[in-house]
Amino acid sequence: MVYTGKPSRGCQMCKTRRIKCDEKRPTCGQCHKSGRDCPGYQDEFDLVFRDENKAMAKKAKKASGSSAKSTGSQSSPSDRSPSSTFESSPSTSPYLSRSRTSSSPNQGQLMIVPSYATSPDEDAFQSFLWNLENAVPQALSFPPEFEAVPFFFKNFVDLPQQAESMRGYLELLVPLYNQSRPSSALHLATNSVALAACCNYPDKQHLRPDAAATYGKALRKLNEELKDPVDGKTDESILAILLFSLYETIMSTDDTITAWENHVDGAVALTKLRGVDQFKTSMSRAVFRAVRTMMITSCVRRAKPVEPFPGANGWIADVGEENAANRLTLICMDLPDIRARANDLTSSPHDPAKEPEAIKILEFAQMVDGNLQQWYQTLPLDWHYQTVGMVYDMPEDVTTAGEWPGPQHAYYDVPLASIVNDYRVCRIFCQRVIMACATWLGLGSDYPVTHAYNTALFVIQQVVDDISACVPFHMVYDMQPIAKERGQEKSAAEAFGGYSLVWPLYVAANAETIPQRQRDWLSGRLYVIGTKFGLSAAQVLVLARRHVLTCGPMFP
């Protein structure tokens, strides 16, 4: 604010008459002596914060007039300072003007300079008027990703995990995101996924167009980066491709399956192109393992054998650094080949000449199942569940019941429980291959198919019961102490648990050998996850076919 002198506290009549007021209350002495009606005194607040526009405008006009008079004989009207023509254009603010100066070191560049050279008072008045015309709006509007990205990181990415349970790509996002440019494909891909995750909430549906638009920008930016021989093979580029696959899964469009597979194939091709040089840094090795996990998921879904990796040890190149989660992935490396061979065999009529091949596939599946059991038995104790309750009564309507009769299990956290469920899914896969081969061989075979078949039935039921027992833990916030300790948002924590549970629920519900009521209950839980977290039936199905958050093996 500009200082214009000490304010007079006299009455308005004395101010008008320009005489000294004695400031008596309620009527000043001067008005009383002269017989005039005293109009009273101005409010104290108004005395301190006065409207200075009129006084300063008059002062500025007087100063500019004298300045123009003194220089008028030496300059043309077009050369005069903008302040000299201020009164003729009261609707515009001449606070800033753009000019080029020959003496500037940046000659030829656009310079922003004050448009006048006046006294400090005039400078302040011009600044005051400019601020009036260019005031900051009462409410600032921010892009939607300003809210979505922090929410996504806090509730889906930056989750506490043990070192032994890390095997996906979301845990790699924080360091790579921080070191990449805001305009990079990784930043744009992260924004699109964050918006996609948020737009499934009932009150955030309006974010869907923003997610799609950001996704398109990210794709175009990645195409630009891939043209560069250096930037196109960075960890950030591969992680951006993996995030694209996550976006396709969450949004669930008609082209989701094809697009998801194309993104995975692109990440695999880029990883193979980088070769063994990528093993020089710990981050690149972690990205390699994440791509390998996604590749196995895609190959099992399509019954497609794993493509060889150009290296001495192939895809097991860094076996010495594998943690428990990645060792599970390596055990599942043979699953695509098992499925492809079993499908080819069991889709044809029984042929005695092919019985040795059927027995070989069956024993191969039993070997993988044995490796899975050994993996589970060697896990640390804190990986195993704790029984926290028991349900004895069978509900009348199983499709709406929150719990399945039997023990109720709890785990250290959801990511760990999700990996253990992937182990169970892998065992179901192996046992179904065994059952299919035993059925194809028939009772007339010399191989003990009956024992193999019955053992598979028992294992599948046991594993499905264990999956059923952990459903409340995934879907009830109060049963997740780690989520509560770190202040994770309740709906987001339950959504994360629900998304992680979709894959094992889907596999278990499609196990034809378990009781129909249990299959109905498992299907009912899938429906609840969809309706509770704003997912369509198509989105639930796609989530079931893509274990998106932990990249577990795919089951046909």
310-350 pLDDT tens trace:
777 778 765 456 678 878 888 888 887 887 888 889 888 88
Q: What is the pLDDT of residue 143?
A: 73
Asked if residue 5 has pLDDT above 60, the reply is no
pLDDT digits over 62-121, tens only?
554 544 444 444 444 334 333 333 333 333 332 233 333 333 333 333 333 333 344 445
- Flag whether pLDDT at 517 surpasses 50: yes
Looking at per-residue pLDDT, the higher value among 527 and 108 belongs to 527
Cβ of 261: how many Cβ atoms within 10 Å? 17
pLDDT of residue 507: 85
The distance from CA 76 to its chain's CA centroid, rounded to whole angstroms, is 62
Q: What average pLDDT does range 179-200 have in this prediction?
A: 87
**Which DSSP symbol is given to 107?**
T
Tens-digit pLDDT profile for residues 452-499:
999 999 999 999 999 999 999 998 888 888 887 777 778 778 877 887
The pTM of this model reads: 0.62
Res 370: pLDDT: 94
Residue 16 one-letter amino acid? T
Amino acid 427: pLDDT: 92
Confidence of residue 160 (pLDDT cuts 50, 70, 90): low
Q: What was the pLDDT predicted at 116?
A: 36
pLDDT digit string, tens, across residues 258-281: 777 788 888 888 888 888 888 888
The amino acid at residue 209 is P
* Greatest mean pLDDT among 149-158, 306-315, 383-392, 503-512: 383-392
Is beta strand 111-114 parallel, antiparallel or unpaired with respect to 386-391?
A: unpaired
DSSP string, 303-362: T-PPPPPSSTTGGGTTGGG--HHHHHHHHGGGHHHHHHHHHHHHTS---GGGHHHHHHHH
Residue range 10-22: mean pLDDT, rounded: 80
pLDDT at 375: 93
Which pLDDT belongs to residue 515? 93
